[in-house]
């Protein structure tokens, strides 16, 4: 039974600074809140910094988690209010029906695979010369290609993104109406693995946050994506798709 948690993070504490700076450290803390063995189920998480002074951590776990350790290290242990909220995710999954519309937010790592890179690096060239058939995973680095990555895959994930009603009359260069989706943050992360110092062993990822409106086309596919995540780098805070009510127009 899946659970969605929301944990408030105090960015002024020493431990939180480490966690906010390093997806690796935050991954370890998130896994520490799940009593089942980490390889038995996929845990998805995302850091929402709408208000950078009050960041919030969302975690989707297969079983019921406990976040006392995060509150003690990186929250406000003595403060008023709810330190973390854990809710059953099943009511949401029950609401998925074909044609229903939701507001969504997704932080993902858009990548493409190719075995013919335009400008191979030294290391890629070595592998090409060695005759390896396996392709390379390359990050999408421009906003246009990142948005393209998202929009070409939505049908596979069980939803589509309707045209933006508030942008009536505008057309893009293919004479298509713009879709109701935008990129709110883009960030390149680069961090080393603790045991290896060599430059090739660094993790480099482009984290992109998509926000907008979606219309459900296939509830079963969407359920699968909601629970299993979207795209790579799921350990580092990518892939958690969350749904919310469509905001009423003012």
* Count of residues interacting with another protein (CB under 8 A): 24
Residue 227 and residue 93: Cα distance in Å, rounded?
Answer: 10
169 contacts: CB under 8 Å, gap ≥ 6 = none
Taking CB under 8 A as the criterion, which residues in 73-112 touch another protein?
Answer: 85, 87-89, 91-92, 95, 102-103, 105
C-alpha distances (whole Å) from 132 to each of 123, 124, 137 are 12, 10, 14
Residue 210 and residue 213: Cα distance in Å, rounded?
Answer: 10
What's the min distance (Å) between Cβ of 33 and another protein? 18
Residue 60 and residue 87: Cα distance in Å, rounded?
Answer: 10
Q: In this chain, which of 12, 143, 228, 244 binds another protein, going by CB under 8 A? A: 244
Q: In this chain, which of 52, 81, 169, 247 binds another protein, going by CB under 8 A? A: 247
Q: Which DSSP symbol is given to 179?
A: B
Strand-pairing partners, residue 105, are 211, 242
**Which CB sits closer to another protein, 93 or 111?**
93
User: Given the DSSP bridges, would you call strands 3-8 and 84-88 parallel, antiparallel or unpaired?
Assistant: antiparallel
Per CB under 8 A, does 220 bind another protein?
no
Stretch (H or E) spanning 55: none
**Which CB sits closer to another protein, 28 or 167?**
167
**Which CB sits closer to another protein, 61 or 136?**
61
What's the min distance (Å) between Cβ of 235 and another protein? 20
Q: In this chain, which of 13, 38, 42, 48 binds another protein, going by CB under 8 A? A: 48
What's the min distance (Å) between Cβ of 200 and another protein? 37
Residue 220 and residue 59: Cα distance in Å, rounded?
Answer: 21
How many Cβ atoms from other residues are within 10 Å of residue 221's Cβ?
A: 16
Half-sphere exposure of 24 (CA within 13 A, CB side): 11
String of contacts with another protein for each residue 49-68, x by CB under 8 A: -xx------x----------
What's the min distance (Å) between Cβ of 88 and another protein? 7
Piece in contact with another protein (CB under 8 A), picked from 114-122, 134-142, 227-235, 242-250: 242-250
What's the min distance (Å) between Cβ of 250 and another protein? 5
Taking CB under 8 A as the criterion, which residues in 170-209 touch another protein?
Answer: none
C-alpha distances (whole Å) from 61 to each of 32, 39, 155, 191 are 12, 12, 25, 25
What's the min distance (Å) between Cβ of 224 and another protein? 18
Half-sphere exposure of 196 (CA within 13 A, CB side): 9
What residues make contact with another protein under the rule CB under 8 A?
4, 6, 48, 50-51, 58, 85, 87-89, 91-92, 95, 102-103, 105, 211, 242-245, 247-248, 250
């Amino acid at each position: 039974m899946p659970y969605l948690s929301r944990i408030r993070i105090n960015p002024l504490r020493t431990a939180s600074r480490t966690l906010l700076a390093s997806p690796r450290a935050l991954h370890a803390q998130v896994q520490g809140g799940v009593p089942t063995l980490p390889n038995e189920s996929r845990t998805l998480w995302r850091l929402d910094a709408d208000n950078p002074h009050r960041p919030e951590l969302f975690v989707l776990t297969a079983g019921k988690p406990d976040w006392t350790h995060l509150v003690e290290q990186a929250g406000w242990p003595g403060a008023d209010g709810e330190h973390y909220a854990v809710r059953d995710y099943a009511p949401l999954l029950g609401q998925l029906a074909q044609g229903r519309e939701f507001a969504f937010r997704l932080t993902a790592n858009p990548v493409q695979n190719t075995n013919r890179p335009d400008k191979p690096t030294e290391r890629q060239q070595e592998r090409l010369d060695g005759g390896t058939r396996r392709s390379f995973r390359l990050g999408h680095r421009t906003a246009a290609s990142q948005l393209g990555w998202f929009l070409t895959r939505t049908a596979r994930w069980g939803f589509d993104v309707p045209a933006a009603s508030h942008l009536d009359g505008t057309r893009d260069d293919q004479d298509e109406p713009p879709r109701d989706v935008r990129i709110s943050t883009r960030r390149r992360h680069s961090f080393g693995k603790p045991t290896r110092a060599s430059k090739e062993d660094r993790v480099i990822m482009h984290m992109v946050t998509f926000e907008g409106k979606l219309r459900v086309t296939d509830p079963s596919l969407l359920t699968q994506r909601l629970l299993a995540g979207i795209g790579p780098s799921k350990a580092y805070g990518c892939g958690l798709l969350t749904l919310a009510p469509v905001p009423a127009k003012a």
